[in-house]
Amino acid sequence: MRARQQPRPRLSSGLRWLATMSTAVLLAVIVTHEPGRTPHRERRQARRLIGAGSAAGAAAGVSAEEAAAWAAATAHGAAAAAGGRTAAAAFGSGGTTLEAGGGGVTGVRFASHDECVTTATVGPTPVHGWVQKAGPLPMHLLDGPNTTQRHRAYFAWRDFGTEEERTQEWMVDGKLARVGRPPPLFPYCRILVNHAYRTMYLKAPKTGSTSLLTLMGTCTGNATTDKPTCFQPLEVMASEEAYQRMYGSYFVFAVVRNPWARAVSSYRMLSRYLRHGCKELVGGWNRVCMDANLLPLVHNQHPLCTINKQQGEGFAMHHLIPQAPCLVTATGDWAADYVVRTENLAEDMKEVWTAMNARRLPGTPELDVESLLGQLTNVNKVHVACRGISKNATTTAAAAAAGGAAAAAAAAGAAGAAGSAAASTSGTAAGSSVVLSKEIAAVTRRRTLADKPHVVHLEAPESYCAMQMYYQGQHSQCFDALAAYYQDDVRLFGLPTCR
């Protein structure tokens, strides 16, 4: 007689669900893990931009199609520079060449790594002037129906993003380290338009936009007070086809800035929008440069540090994210006709205003280019500290930043200023760090006040006159760390990586 089998214990519905989910997660890990395989750049971009399969992407409800679109919008490698004026052409006046796609110097010989860093951080972007406009900036990156979805992706990255999604491994000072990774585009790309001159302006923060718009005007809708040259945000277009037609027929210019110089400028400005009592959370330039997302996240994680909500997390992030995603087509080619350098604003805007005259509608007044050039000024220029700068370093920096009369004049002017300061400072040896007495006196007073409890805002503790000093010596790790964060800008603009 067969023994009677004992009935198997039945799992509760909750345990069955848990077992099913555990199996699914295990299978996902097995399927997606590919040991030994080097990921392509597109896969790294998609992971960076919050893919559909990531923890943050799942929390945000990001679809695979949207993740692919975001990845394509910023996947501009060598093709980005190839679409316009190449870095080799920009540097080629003296027979030197620069490999734009990899950002590495092939025809330039530097005496030292510091000389390369000086060239990279002080000079304007090699790629500039007339470029080949390959098509429009992707419409879904503009303010409109997709803005809410982008915000959700950013908040998911911020609140649920994994370490891999928020940081990246990079060689820093010859050692592998984790540094900051840009978030999904936030809040959106900005296009300003002047229909009378049939011109579009790809606007990025910290690139001289305030100076330009102060001169040309921002449209208010009042025909009696608005300047003919005023710009307004591009309206939401009825269809993709209408947008592409307008984009193709209008003159499109962009203003870009050296990403290393822009990072320093943003750091110094954004520090002042945090309370002085939060200086330990910021920790100074060495900490910020290793992860450019630090300042926005301080606003988010420590709301009491924010002085003004209008200049809080979103404002800070907008001023730090890379420029490149809002300058290229979906295929990574230039989405502009002309590239203006912030460092050479007057020189390049002369060509822009001439092009605007050529595109203007009948009855639209002709721009007085020379008059506009005479009125163009840096309205945001702040008189800040000068310390730790040497006569020789200033001359070298100016000469390395550009080749030509402008560089020679800058070098001569800097040398003269340093020389006069040295003459008024007793006991300073030739070639050593000099003190610019009047400026230092003013800044020392500011710095003394900044250390007192009653001062509301935070002041960046570093105050160098020479840009390269933010990336050399005790700050040498900052060059590589920000080369990683702004790798798309570095590649698109044809800047050297000094690796």
Encode the chain (499 residues) as per-residue pLDDT tens digits: 555 555 555 555 555 655 555 555 444 433 333 333 333 443 344 344 444 444 444 444 444 444 443 344 334 333 333 333 333 333 333 323 333 334 444 456 788 999 999 999 999 999 999 999 999 999 999 998 899 999 999 999 999 999 999 999 999 999 999 999 999 998 899 999 999 999 999 999 999 999 999 999 999 999 889 999 999 999 999 899 999 999 999 999 999 999 999 999 999 999 999 999 999 999 999 999 999 999 999 999 999 999 999 999 999 999 999 999 999 999 999 999 999 999 999 999 999 999 999 999 999 999 999 999 999 988 776 545 556 544 344 444 444 444 433 443 444 444 444 444 334 433 443 343 333 444 444 444 555 444 544 558 898 999 898 999 999 999 999 999 999 999 999 999 999 999 8
Domain ranges of the chain: 41-75+145-182
Of 338, 339, 352, 334, the residue nearest 135 (C-alpha): 334
Do the beta carbons of residue 378 and residue 209 sit within 8 Å?
no
State residue 299's pLDDT score: 96
Q: Name 235's Cβ contacts closer than 8 Å, sequence gap at least 6.
A: none
**What is the per-residue pLDDT for 10?**
55
For the chain, the helix, strand and coil percentages under 3-state DSSP, each to the nearest 5: 50, 10, 40
| Residues facing residue 201 across a β-bridge | 192, 253
What pLDDT, on a 0 to 100 scale, did the predictor assign at position 105? Answer: 44
Residue 326 half-sphere exposure, CB side, CA atoms within 13 Å?
25
Q: Give the dihedral of Cα atoms 481, 482, 485, 488; nearest 10 deg.
A: -130
The reported pLDDT for the residue numbered 244 is 96
Report pLDDT for 95.
29
131/337 Cα distance (integer angstroms): 5
Amino acid at 470: Y
Centre a 10 Å sphere on the Cβ of residue 398 and count the other Cβ atoms it contains: 23
The distance of Cα 37 from the centroid of its chain, to the nearest Å, equals: 30
pLDDT of 145 reads 87
